[in-house]
Structure 1
């Protein structure tokens, strides 16, 4: 049996999801006993979401090419105690359970299975759909924003993608600006957001909106306080960070928020990066140099996280091998 715990974020509290996974005689039992009781907030995931998230996580590890049919569910035994956030009873609100709690169910199962399947389980991905809802008189806009995928055995995490339980795609900037009173100032990968590791976590996304109309904005996001975890001595990815720039002042926002904004205000969404896989000191130095050249990690991160000294020489980034050897001998 293997077990783990991971968390959702609600106000100033951490909401635990516990999972024990037992594989025995052709059966897989996943037991969520000990998980937080249902909330008077929409983080509750109905039982169907829990089943879907659990089967996804197990299928991803066992064999992603397996057809999704009754054979998978026949060997799966899910224990989800009633009146918890993974099996709530009416009248519990449940809207966010589908988009956020489903992500954490996958994370906690991956975390539990890592010691048993270290070559197959990735580090944690960004762990949120990063929901952005903006609306005014006569219009409404809703999108989800990707983040970093967790580093994997043999490969870096993918940058700027939707991971695991999302079923959503990127929204093109041109469509947003043509259809809504919104201007996108920036759409980029977040430097240094992927967890350091032999296989680096994927980078999160930075999305900056300028509002061209008075409106109401709602945010639903996770991994603002608890970072996506790394594995096998890999570092955690960066947490998400959201804020508003209003009349030149930066106003931090929580992951779950609804507020009224004015024409000219700017919303900045920084999504989490994926966790790293393996020790950063085992990463190929040439890959670290390429990451610096590509703007994926900074010179400071190369020095601090990987113990690699990179300098600029003749307008080119190069590795100072002598200084790097000294750093790594400490």
Structure 2
């Protein structure tokens, strides 16, 4: 990741210098300012189409010991500007599900960006009509020294869910139901028979929420995650594991006029002893539907012993597995949209 970031920044700097050399730094700065101003105008225009008012939503993160931690958002629209207030959200936690302010603000900006035309530029101009109120010391604005590794990959998803749910009150015919709401992080590592260490990390897709125009997609990355699927052949070639199952989890999407997409089943068998780390949410409460649609199935994590015995695992858990044992990750589906006409 660091190499990719450094490479992107190096390439960007070189191209920016080339533009400055070709057009002059003053002219380049003028057009850069024009581009951010254009993004601001598009954002204000999109927000102006949302009826003025206050819209609120609440959802939960799953904390230690099964504790449900509220994430609250009040979205206030006034004349093409928006304030998103997270007052009432849970306090910061000892576990790593805390989000820093930058992550929460980015998730809010993403939600607003979803209201814009697809070809609208993404730059600082989008942020200008947006104010975000973040209580210090909360799960959405953790203070220094708090653990935050899952805040970016999990809590950001719930922030997205609650902000979009609040917008759904104002724009019921535009906003979809909640998607899987988790990246279902699956990490493992160990030592090969020859003594060489190995490590692997992936996020497992789930179901997309249904929308006013149709069913949700199945087995996809949604919202704050965009990693691609690693083919089973590649994993088995690179690591001492076997992919026993990777299939859609039929029926896990929420019912409704339009049905939520299904999650997936991912089952990995370990050919050597290994350490496994699971970080995933929506293992107790499934993604909600909207406009009368039903909630999707929540996810499940399971350890399958070599003799076939199954042992339920928590959403966030570290464990040691032996050769011949398997870990199964079942991801949530997406919520349904609209009341089923047959109900």
TM-score range, shorter chain: 0.7 to 0.9
Structure with a larger share of its residues in helix = 2
CA-CA distance at 1:62 after TM superposition: 4.2
Note the 1:112-191 alignment, pairs <5 A. Answer: 112-137=166-191, 138-191=197-250
Q: Does 1:265 align with 2:325?
A: yes
**TM-score, structure 1 as length reference:** 0.84
Provide the secondary structure at the position in 2 that maps to 1:112: helix
Deviation sequence 1:223-253 (CA, Å, 0-9, x none) = 0111100011111111001101112211001
> Alignment partner for residue 66 of structure 1, among 120, 138, 157?
120
CA contact (8 A) 1:82 1:88 kept: yes
CA contact (8 A) 1:19 1:30 kept: yes
Tell me: CA distance 1:177–1:146, structure 2 relative to 1, closer, same or farther (3 Å). Answer: same
CA-CA distance at 1:88 after TM superposition: 1.1
Deviation sequence 1:26-66 (CA, Å, 0-9, x none) = 21100011111111111111111011100001111344432
Structure 2 equivalent of residue 297 of structure 1: none
Q: Does 1:193 align with 2:247?
A: no
Q: What RMSD in Å do the two structures reach over aligned CA positions?
A: 1.1
Distance 2:117 2:77 in 1: 15
Distance 2:55 2:324 in 1: 51
5+ unaligned residues in a row in structure 2: which ranges? 1-53, 192-196
CA-CA distance at 1:182 after TM superposition: 0.7
Q: Does 1:57 align with 2:111?
A: yes
Distance 1:172 1:120 in 2: 34
> Alignment partner for residue 86 of structure 2, among 18, 32, 37?
32
Structure 2 equivalent of residue 10 of structure 1: 63
Provide the secondary structure at the position in 2 that maps to 1:281: coil
CA contact (8 A) 1:61 1:121 kept: no
CA-CA distance at 1:72 after TM superposition: 1.1
Distance 1:188 1:173 in 2: 12
Deviation sequence 1:278-309 (CA, Å, 0-9, x none) = 12235xxxxxxxxxxxxxxxxxxxxxxx7xxx
Structure 2 equivalent of residue 280 of structure 1: 340
Structure 2 equivalent of residue 77 of structure 1: 131
Q: Which moved more, 1:59-68 or 1:164-173?
A: 59-68
> Alignment partner for residue 314 of structure 2, among 254, 276, 282?
254
Q: Does 1:43 align with 2:103?
A: no
CA-CA distance at 1:191 after TM superposition: 0.8
Provide the secondary structure at the position in 1 that maps to 2:159: helix
Post-superposition, which runs of at least 4 consecutive aligned residues in structure 1 deviate over 2 A?
Answer: 61-66
5+ unaligned residues in a row in structure 1: which ranges? 283-305, 307-330
Provide the secondary structure at the position in 2 that maps to 1:143: strand
Deviation sequence 1:153-180 (CA, Å, 0-9, x none) = 1111011000000131111111100000
> Alignment partner for residue 149 of structure 2, among 68, 81, 95?
95
**TM-score, structure 2 as length reference:** 0.81
Provide the secondary structure at the position in 1 that maps to 2:179: coil
